[in-house]
Amino acid sequence: MLRYRLITGPLLIILVIGVVFLDDHLERGCCEIAASLPKGFVLYLLSALLSVCVGREISAFAKSLGLRSSAPIAALCAWIALTGVAAAGWSGTLTDAIASVSTALALCFVLPMLLVGFSRETKGALSLVGSTLVAAIYGGVMLSFWLLVRTEHTAWFLVAALLTTKSSDIGAYAVGSTIGKHKLIPWLSPNKSWEGLVGGIATSAMVAALFASYSGPGLAPSDQLPVWFAAIVGAALGLVGQLGDLCESALKRDAGAKDSGRILPGMGGALDVLDSPLLAGPALWWMLHFAPQVA
């Protein structure tokens, strides 16, 4: 397991850096085609792939509980929800943005109902719609907040925010495994402790503050945050990220699964990797929406 993790982890990092570099390169207008693409389009393509994976994994959870679910429909609706919110960020007017999101969510209800109609089987219709909507919200809407952040910040800013969020896992594990004595939620995640929670939050705060303190004047103004505010953002991402991990733990325990999938050797599924960023995305967008400017 550790051997596979040591291989998969660096490959994922290389993939993310490559995608971010290409996305940043296209934003600079490297060619005529790039100038016509919306901001963050390459990151959107990667997010679309991840949303499909999360949708299939949510559907698998539902099926393991004996609930009616369709992996293709769940995956399709996760992508539709992601695209609807992303298109809202790219749209020019508020009306278009609202229509884009509303249409996407409406489709996420209509498509599973169409499947009910074609199958001529009403039993399990509610669970089919419910599991599809969970996949759409979890794998589409929540993931799309990172794309909304991208519309106002550079791709490298997203990398810093993502590293800040994931650093909470490292800090929580390091502190919890060494001095953790008071269990956080033993009925849900027996290995997590209050000491680990505090350690994870502190780690994220420090990482975010370091990123902010080393951000030079060459960065875009939107990417520059006061160090004190960056520390607050980091602490919030660390807290919300660990809550995201607990949310996924609840789903896996209910489904009786150790991992959400097997597409990433040593790490599990897409949801196992995205558990903390998915919940942290909305928190990040709203905090940056009210961020003070560097003097």
Residue-wise pLDDT for 183-196, tens only, equals 998 888 888 999 99
Q: Can you give the C-alpha Rg of the chain in angstroms? A: 20
Alpha carbon distances (Å) from 212 to 23, 154, 168, 231, 269? 22, 14, 17, 8, 32
Closest by CA position to 274, among listed 138, 127, 82: 138
Closest by CA position to 136, among listed 95, 97, 90, 84: 84
pLDDT the model gives residue 14: 84
What is the distance between the alpha carbons of residues 146 and 281, in angstroms, rounded to a whole number? 5
- CB 22: neighbour CB atoms within 10 A? 18
pLDDT the model gives residue 120: 92
pLDDT the model gives residue 218: 60
For the chain, domain boundaries:
38-151, 154-295
pLDDT the model gives residue 175: 92
pLDDT the model gives residue 34: 66
* Residues of the chain under the 70 pLDDT cut: 1-6, 29-35, 215-218, 293-295
Closest by CA position to 77, among listed 112, 102, 28, 43: 112
Closest by CA position to 172, among listed 192, 188, 149: 192
pLDDT the model gives residue 146: 95
pLDDT the model gives residue 293: 67
Q: Please report the sign of the dihedral spanned by the C-alpha atoms of residue 221, residue 226, residue 227, residue 229.
A: negative
pLDDT the model gives residue 18: 87
Residue-wise pLDDT for 59-77, tens only, equals 999 999 999 999 999 999 9
How many DSSP H helices and E strands does the chain contain? 11, 2
- CA dihedral 38→111→126→85, nearest 10 degrees, is 10
